[in-house]
Structure 1
Amino acid sequence: MNSRRDFLQKVSLGLGVTALSGLPAAASDFAKIPMADKPLRVAMMGLGGYANIVAKGMQECKLAKITGVISGTPSKVDTWKQKYGIPDGNVYNYDTVNQLKNNPDIDLVYVTTPNSLHHKHVLQIAAAGKHVICEKPVADNAKQAREMIAACEKAGVRFYIGYRLHFEPHTREVIRMREAGEFGKIMHVNNFMGFKIGDPTQWRLKKELAGGGAMMDVGVYALNGARYSTGEEPVWVTAQESKTDPVKFKDVDETITFQLGFPSGIIANCGCTYNFNHGERLHLMGDKGWAEMVPAFGYGPIRGNTHLGPINQPDVNHQAYQMDGIADCILNNKPDPNVTGHEGLKDMIVVDAVYESIRKGGAKIFINK
């Protein structure tokens, strides 16, 4: 297994309080969306593995279309131009991003560059006057996330984070059940996400590009899952790090376990790793019922059960659902779903606290919003 992309595809067998705000009531509603006469025109920034997955998924979109690319690798650009019919005038490199402001054929830029470049690139896109989607984690820390939000608000552009699971039907059904009180009072959450990382020279193992290790990359899934499983925001964190390969993981964290305390007294036990497979799960327990999803966070199919039986929801293309959902909000001026920069900031506030707890030997860190 050579990459996070391979892991997410293979282990999953293929491609906020109101986390559903602004979305259709049922997953089937997306299937009823008609093709747009004028779709949201999207440029991909960074043409690595995940950009290719997004682009492939967007071929199923009804409301969004790839019309441009931003890359520093000419050989990749040539491939994308051929595959997606991108004209020369919609091709940019990292030094010409500011010229986007003069291009009416691009409405939004999807940033899939390495984590530590997100801050710089989102600021560039905002300055060019384009809407932006940024992959998670939104930034290296909460301070950067706040700056990105402020820049987008000043520019009058919409700022989203690639929380595709907020559009995924099984996940949305669990949130619906929780909000409807079908689990009763939530008592406990137990989430884990991880995989055995491959190539030791890849950017995810270099702190200057990744910002951190497993916590930044896959720990955000467990963390965000705890937040939408409870409908609450954590008020304290404790965290521990373990390393079995100090050479490979000399710059970044290998395995982190962390505990989240919520205002109602709920405790979430969470973890993430770069050193083993087969740990992906979400499990919430209430005083009237429970839900478990295994796999819970990969590209699909997601599978789950509750005390009432299997979660019978359709298997969908996550990237297409995400892009059509966001495009619907922009094109039709609908309220934003819970995947804006503010949602990303909430996760980064907790991630900062996780790392602070580790630096302080596992101390309880109270979270300041």
Structure 2
Amino acid sequence: MAALSLPYPGLLLKKPKKKLGVALVGLGSYSTYQLAPALQKTQFCELRGIVTCSPEKIPKWQKKYGIKDVNVYNYENMSQIANNADIDVVYVVLPNSLHAKYSIIAANAGKHVWCEKPMAMNTEECRQMINACSSNKVKIAIGYRLQHEPNNQKMMEWARKQPFGPIKDLKAAAGFYGNSLGWRLEKEMGGGAMYDMGVYPLNAARYSTQMEPVAVSATHEINRPQMFDEVDETTHFKLEFKNGIVADCSTSFGENMNSLEVNCENGYYYLKPFQTYSGVKGEASNGKVLPPFGKDQQAVQMDDDALAIINNKPMIAPGEEGLKDIAILEKIYESAAKGGKRLLL
């Protein structure tokens, strides 16, 4: 049987005999335009079920993807998925405030959990999700697709091997100018630039240094108060690491930004863009070019996570990874509320 390797070191896996069945919880734009199409390209998992509160979407999804009637659920009867051997994994793709609730329902049903980022609203919810999965002996992965993307993985490799010398500082930014933001403008739903887009530069600062920050400071910026009356439009935050390394990060719903730049003692490297669904590319000061990855990021992410389940190996981005980001995110909001006060982590 042919051997396959995941993109993190030391993990050699065997090809499974059958695919894992995935049920998508929430049929919004990300499920519709990214995940469902990506599941048509995966080697080790496939779309078999849906969970939705929009009955009008069901016929279209069933026709397009051949989903059986018995594999269609709503939010009220989702726990019955425990009795469905067709479904191995539940992928929660809902507004942030609902991540914990439905991830825990899935775990209690004995299904592995994939949850979109950010993991949850707070660290307590993250711990509840991790504990539910542990108690039910199922795995949980957070949808950090960039940790599965080769050029971002190169940032991690260079942080470990330091081919350009020790890191001095870095910059990371992710955002866009948004008008139709829906629930992302509602605080109770987990809206705001920092929750939605800010997790990208936050997570990137951590994996691009391969370290955890020791202090944080942050400020919010709102240029459209009539629209952003509950949540942040733009957040600037600074993460301090040991050895004096500083990461200057920004995220926004009011400005287009998409870059990751790392400065070292003997050179530099960057990705521009660094978090788009395709076309992630970059270059290093020695002339090395990092060309765009030619595969579907979401398909690679789900295949990696499926193989980890099949072979009972660690997830690339487990629940603990999501918890770490949320712990820092809480401090970012606290710092901004205190006028940018520097807080220890």
TM-score normalised by L of structure 1: 0.88
Return the structure number with greater strand share.
Answer: 2
Amino acid corresponding to residue 256 of structure 1 in structure 2? T
The yes-or-no answer on 1:175 pairing with 2:156 is yes
Per-residue Cα deviation, 1:227-267 (whole angstroms, up to 9, x for no partner): 01111001111001111111100011001100001122210
Runs of 4+ in 1 over 6 A off after TM superposition: none
1:127 CA drift (Å) = 1.1
Aligned pair partner of 1:229 in 202, 208, 226: 208
CA contact 2:42–2:299 (8 Å) conserved in 1:
yes
CA contact 1:108–1:133 (8 Å) conserved in 2:
yes
1:133 CA drift (Å) = 0.5
Q: Distance in 1 between matches of 2:8 and 2:246?
A: 29
Q: Distance in 2 between matches of 1:314 and 1:197?
A: 27
Amino acid corresponding to residue 69 of structure 2 in structure 1? D
Match of 1:291 in 2: 269
SS of 1:276's partner is: strand
The yes-or-no answer on 1:145 pairing with 2:114 is no
Q: Distance in 2 between matches of 1:163 and 1:117?
A: 18
Matches within 5 A, 1:70-81: 70-81=51-62
The yes-or-no answer on 1:266 pairing with 2:245 is yes
1:289 CA drift (Å) = 2.2
Q: Distance in 1 between matches of 2:87 and 2:212?
A: 36
The yes-or-no answer on 1:254 pairing with 2:239 is no
1:33 CA drift (Å) = 8.4
CA contact 1:294–1:303 (8 Å) conserved in 2:
yes
The yes-or-no answer on 1:23 pairing with 2:15 is no
The yes-or-no answer on 1:300 pairing with 2:278 is yes
1:331 CA drift (Å) = 1.1
Aligned pair partner of 2:298 in 304, 319, 322: 319
SS of 1:264's partner is: helix
Aligned pair partner of 1:66 in 15, 35, 47: 47
Per-residue Cα deviation, 1:330-363 (whole angstroms, up to 9, x for no partner): 11222322x1110000100110000000111111
CA contact 2:278–2:293 (8 Å) conserved in 1:
no
CA contact 1:302–1:315 (8 Å) conserved in 2:
no
Per-residue Cα deviation, 1:170-227 (whole angstroms, up to 9, x for no partner): 1112221221221211110101110011225x11111121x23000000000000000
Q: Relative to 1, partners in 2 of residues 1:25 and 1:273: Cα closer, same or farther, differing over 3 Å?
A: closer
Identity %: 41
Aligned pair partner of 1:213 in 180, 188, 192: 192
Aligned pair partner of 2:31 in 51, 54, 66: 51
CA contact 1:197–1:274 (8 Å) conserved in 2:
yes
SS of 1:187's partner is: strand
Q: Relative to 1, partners in 2 of residues 1:320 and 1:25: Cα closer, same or farther, differing over 3 Å?
A: same
Q: Distance in 2 between matches of 1:132 and 1:286?
A: 38
Q: Distance in 2 between matches of 1:340 and 1:285?
A: 28
CA contact 2:82–2:109 (8 Å) conserved in 1:
yes
TM-score normalised by L of structure 2: 0.94
Matches within 5 A, 1:358-369: 358-367=336-345
For structure 1, the 5+ residue unaligned runs are 1-21
Q: Distance in 2 between matches of 1:225 and 1:197?
A: 22
CA contact 1:33–1:62 (8 Å) conserved in 2:
no
For structure 2, the 5+ residue unaligned runs are none
Q: Relative to 1, partners in 2 of residues 1:244 and 1:313: Cα closer, same or farther, differing over 3 Å?
A: closer
Match of 1:349 in 2: 327
SS of 2:195's partner is: helix
Q: Distance in 1 between matches of 2:333 and 2:7?
A: 37
Per-residue Cα deviation, 1:260-313 (whole angstroms, up to 9, x for no partner): 011222100000000122x21000111122111000011011010012221146
Match of 2:177 in 1: 196
Q: Distance in 2 between matches of 1:351 and 1:263?
A: 19
Q: Distance in 1 between matches of 2:29 and 2:7?
A: 29
CA contact 2:7–2:148 (8 Å) conserved in 1:
no
Q: How many residues align?
A: 338
